[in-house]
Structure 1
Amino acid sequence: MKTAFLLFAKDQQLRKHFTVSDEAMIPKEIRDKHGSGFKFFTNPPHLSAEEFCVKISNENPEHALVLLVEHGLGYSLDGLGLPLSVLQTDARAMGIEFSRVLTFWIKRLNAVEQIFKPMGNKKALLLPFGNFRDEKANEIWASIASNLSERTFGLTDELTRLITHLKTREFPKRRGGDYKDKYFVDEKGYYFQYGHEVHSKPVTVGDGHTVRCALSSQLRLGLPYDRERHYNLSLEDNGNLKGRTFVNCHGLDHTAESCDHLNVFPNDFIN
């Protein structure tokens, strides 16, 4: 799996070690097992941390992103929804600390990638959870999102538990569609189908969009996904959605106009 590691640090020794050491920071047995598709970037002073994350994601669309942050840096990147480790170089030599943290994330993200690979799992885990209203699913997803960077959190177990539950919410349309097609159905009776068509892209700038809108339109749990595919949200009988209220990618209400379905992207951008 291709992974880009982004360092946010003011300490010049940390920055130099990270830049010079490159892949040598990763133990040989980890490189032998997981390949060499790693990149290393250090936040330049002319870009904000958020701008830097978006820039690297845009320029490396096939790479997962992991943020490495100097302890006591003075600003937080927790709100971006990306894998993140605060470096404990006050307690360990920087070489040991980088090796420890890089190994942890390479193992964790490769395990998550294996769970995402089957299409049945992928279409469950990419659901736009801001609009897919299911109490149990939303509870599990909230726990996953808030504990992504906790080393002791059973991430793969919780992802598997979420998938197992969502598959109990997968049904065909009995009134408005081909019985062979299955949809994830939430507690409000909305049907979500991961569409095959590619005819629009999520908008992530202007109109109140935030950096998180941009990053979440490209990455889920730090892993890249197809940013041009969306879900079709509809009713069982394909009835008119006019006047129904949903939520967009930056948390504002979206009221549907006259239509029989909405395009909802995994990050909850709607058009």
Structure 2
Amino acid sequence: MKIFVGLVAADQRLRRHFGLGKDAIIPKDALNKGFFYGRGVQILQSTYIPDGAPTANELERFILSRAKEADACLLIMDADLLHLAADIRNSVFIVSFQNADVGASLQNFFHYTTARALKALGQILARFYKGEDGDLLMLPLRNFQAGELVEIARLCREENLQPNFGDLIERQLVPLRGRLRPRRRTSYKTIYAVDDAKRFFVYGKERHAKFATGGEHGLHCEIAGHLRFGKRIDADRHFNVSETEGDETSISGVFRDCHNAEREVKTQPRVTHLNMFANDYF
């Protein structure tokens, strides 16, 4: 397993120390316990150094280029720069720090921070590998209407260093799992996740579509198609989204796409479902 660990900080002392290598920033036992035990973790690390004033677009380009070979992506980020990551905080696993908390020993600071960050990352990664939880965690965040999914995203953004982070995630997964059921009035046994709008989402096995990039799509749209809560996801698979019980399905309504633009889908003959990727592109 390859984990990209990036540093986003204005302090040059932190950037220089981060560049000394894995042992300078990660305690040796952090990758030999919990989820990471026995997985042969390889750390890929890099520091974001802006060309002038830092921008969100430049940070997103950094993530795309550095994390493309990683199975997971973790950013250690100066809280004063978090605004740069506003559009990717549901994609990349971000742990922030205050400059006042750094202290005199940079190694102690990094060892303490990365140990906690990796523990939390491991707790969310473990859920991706548990039963159907991985499919549930990848549901399109803008269009699958469920308070518990919204809360999981908030926990991963804002509460990921809480000592009971794993328990908090599990508490929300329980009702999310309760949304899994087959359609009524049909002999098919396909299991769907059903949201508050009574729409049916199933993670398809087919690979006949790809999400768009470039043009009106920002780099954060592409990142969201590759990463969710720090976990690398399959960019070539999508959810099939439909409505109604029984065998005759349809789909209509207003949906938000990967850059949050509203798009109306009208009922059409022979249109039984939408192909919607984890980043909400359809």
Match of 1:84 in 2: 95
The 2-side partners of 1:250 and 1:105 are apart by 28
Query: Per-residue deviation at 1:43?
Result: 1.8
Query: Per-residue deviation at 1:70?
Result: 4.3
Residue 212, structure 1, aligned to residue 220, structure 2: yes
The 5 A counterparts of 1:50-65 are 50-57=60-67, 59-60=68-69, 62-65=70-73
**2:10–2:78 CA contact under 8 A, matched in 1:** yes
**1:80–1:212 CA contact under 8 A, matched in 2:** yes
Match of 1:169 in 2: 179
The 2-side partners of 1:7 and 1:53 are apart by 11
The 1-side partners of 2:81 and 2:194 are apart by 44
Cα separation, partners in 2 of 1:204 and 1:141, compared to 1, 3 Å: farther
Residue 43, structure 1, aligned to residue 48, structure 2: yes
Residue 224, structure 1, aligned to residue 232, structure 2: yes
The 2-side partners of 1:125 and 1:71 are apart by 26
Q: Which runs of 5+ in 2 are unaligned?
A: none
The 1-side partners of 2:187 and 2:273 are apart by 13
Cα deviation, 1:216-252, whole Å, max 9, x if unaligned, reads 11111111111211110012343332x5221111111
Query: Per-residue deviation at 1:214?
Result: 1.8
The 5 A counterparts of 1:58-207 are 59-60=68-69, 62-70=70-78, 72=80, 76-81=84-89, 82=92, 83-86=94-97, 88=99, 90-134=102-146, 136-149=147-160, 151-152=161-162, 154-175=164-185, 178=188, 180-207=189-216
SS at match of 1:80: coil
The residue type equivalent to 1:39 in the other structure is: L
Return the TM-score normalized by structure 1. Answer: 0.85
**1:9–1:15 CA contact under 8 A, matched in 2:** yes
Cα deviation, 1:17-60, whole Å, max 9, x if unaligned, reads 11123334322222444444111102244482222112223x32
The 1-side partners of 2:249 and 2:60 are apart by 41
Aligned identity (percent) is 28
Q: Which stretch shifts more, 106-115 or 7-16?
A: 7-16
SS at match of 1:20: coil
Cα deviation, 1:140-192, whole Å, max 9, x if unaligned, reads 2353244254x2264322322222112221221224561x2111112222111
SS at match of 1:200: coil
The residue type equivalent to 1:198 in the other structure is: R
Return the TM-score normalized by structure 2. Answer: 0.82
The residue type equivalent to 1:28 in the other structure is: K
Cα separation, partners in 2 of 1:185 and 1:45, compared to 1, 3 Å: closer
Q: Which stretch shifts more, 64-73 or 249-258?
A: 64-73
Cα separation, partners in 2 of 1:253 and 1:191, compared to 1, 3 Å: same
The 2-side partners of 1:232 and 1:141 are apart by 22
Q: Which stretch shifts more, 82-91 or 114-123?
A: 82-91
The 2-side partners of 1:200 and 1:143 are apart by 30
How many pairs were matched up? 263
**1:85–1:101 CA contact under 8 A, matched in 2:** no
Residue 265, structure 1, aligned to residue 277, structure 2: yes
Query: Per-residue deviation at 1:4?
Result: 0.9
Q: Which runs of 5+ in 1 are unaligned?
A: none
Query: Per-residue deviation at 1:92?
Result: 4.0
Query: Per-residue deviation at 1:11?
Result: 3.5
**2:6–2:48 CA contact under 8 A, matched in 1:** yes
SS at match of 2:19: helix
**2:226–2:232 CA contact under 8 A, matched in 1:** yes
